[in-house]
């Protein structure tokens, strides 16, 4: 097999230049704006250097390669080589700038040695880095799979807090704007729940077992702003974690998971390893009447 060295270098150079030009040049700003609004596919194509590099390398390799082995080598090196060359150029560009011209991308703190360098930007700390990530656009994902299983949501560290039932009760006592959302099923809620909590089940209990609630996000989004202070609790702390992830992925920014839930977290032997709301002796209520019940909350949405 004869490797087309000159064609290979030409392919890498072409894809490197084209990717950089399309993603960074002022001359292509209008094209990027159009791609972002045209469709999710074209928006992702211009946001992702891997995707753009691949689709530029593919026709380039097809035109220059004389056989399949050369096509494969040209595609791989044109795609991956261009990405690493552009990343190196980005690092040299930013790190070559004067320290006086650099600052934290989030809080504008002047640059210091030890700053994090991520996505061609400087961040003074991990909290600022995570704050930046939380603001990035993420395509909406369903909460449940077709079989009714939870789909783990794409959330970043520190996206939501964890508090024990005692800490959650203290927070709610000191801040009247904080609302406890009980994501258990309606029968569980009726048998006892934290006093003053609202019932919005993430899953319903039916004869066949637990089934997803397709209106979970819709009901919450109808009753609360995205910056609302919400405590999310369930029976043991498992469902509330999934619900918290789903809310963060949907754009909510002030979510706190109540660990241990209402009944406490248990190990495989059934022993309580973390006290829940009820075992902690915190205020509870029974029944499901009035504006805090799920039927009342969903009826407002369906009007």
C-alpha span between 28 and 23 (Å, rounded) = 7
Give the pair of three-digit tokens for residue 257: 């998971």
**Position of tokens 């009760």?**
169
Q: What region does 158 belong to: left with phi over 0, alpha with psi -120 to 50, or beta?
A: left
Radius of gyration of the chain (CA): 26
C-alpha span between 161 and 170 (Å, rounded) = 15
Nearest C-alpha neighbor of 52 from the set 93, 24, 10, 27: 24
Give the pair of three-digit tokens for residue 11: 């392919």
Q: Are strands 203-206 and 161-163 parallel, antiparallel or unpaired?
A: unpaired
Work out the angle at residue 128's Cα, subtended by the Cα atoms of residues 124 and 132, and round it to the nearest 5 degrees: 130
Residues with a known catalytic role:
234
Give the pair of three-digit tokens for residue 171: 């927070």
Query: How far apart, in Å, do the first and last CA atoms of the chain sit?
Result: 71
Give the pair of three-digit tokens for residue 23: 């993603």
Which residue(s) pair with 88 in the sheet? none
C-alpha span between 256 and 128 (Å, rounded) = 19
């Amino acid at each position: 097999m004869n490797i087309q060295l000159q064609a290979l270098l030409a392919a890498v150079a072409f894809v490197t230049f084209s990717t950089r030009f399309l993603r960074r040049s002022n001359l292509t700003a209008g094209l990027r704006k159009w791609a972002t609004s045209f469709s999710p596919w074209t928006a992702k194509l211009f946001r992702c250097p891997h995707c753009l590099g691949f689709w530029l390398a593919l026709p380039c390799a097809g035109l220059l390669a004389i056989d399949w082995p050369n096509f494969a080598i040209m595609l791989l090196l044109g795609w991956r080589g261009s990405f690493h060359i552009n990343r190196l150029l980005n690092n040299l560009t930013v790190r070559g700038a004067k320290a006086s011209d650099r600052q934290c991308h989030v809080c504008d703190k002047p640059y210091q040695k030890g700053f994090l360098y991520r996505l061609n930007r400087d961040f003074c700390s991990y909290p600022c880095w995570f704050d930046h990530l939380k603001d990035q656009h993420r395509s909406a994902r369903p909460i449940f799979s077709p079989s009714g299983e939870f789909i783990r949501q794409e959330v970043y560290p520190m996206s939501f807090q964890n508090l024990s039932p005692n800490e959650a009760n203290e927070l709610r006592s000191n801040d009247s704007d904080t609302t406890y959302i009980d994501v258990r099923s309606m029968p569980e809620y009726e048998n006892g729940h934290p006093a003053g909590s609202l019932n919005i089940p993430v899953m319903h209990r039916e004869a066949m077992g637990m089934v997803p609630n397709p209106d979970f996000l819709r009901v919450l989004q109808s009753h609360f702003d995205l910056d609302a202070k919400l405590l999310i609790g369930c029976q043991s702390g498992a469902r509330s974690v999934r619900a918290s992830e789903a809310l963060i992925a949907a754009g909510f920014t002030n979510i706190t998971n109540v660990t241990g839930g209402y009944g406490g977290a248990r190990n495989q032997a059934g022993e309580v390893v973390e006290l829940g709301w009820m075992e902690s002796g915190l205020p509870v209520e029974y029944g499901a009447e009035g504006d805090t019940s799920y039927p009342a909350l969903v009826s407002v949405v369906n009007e």
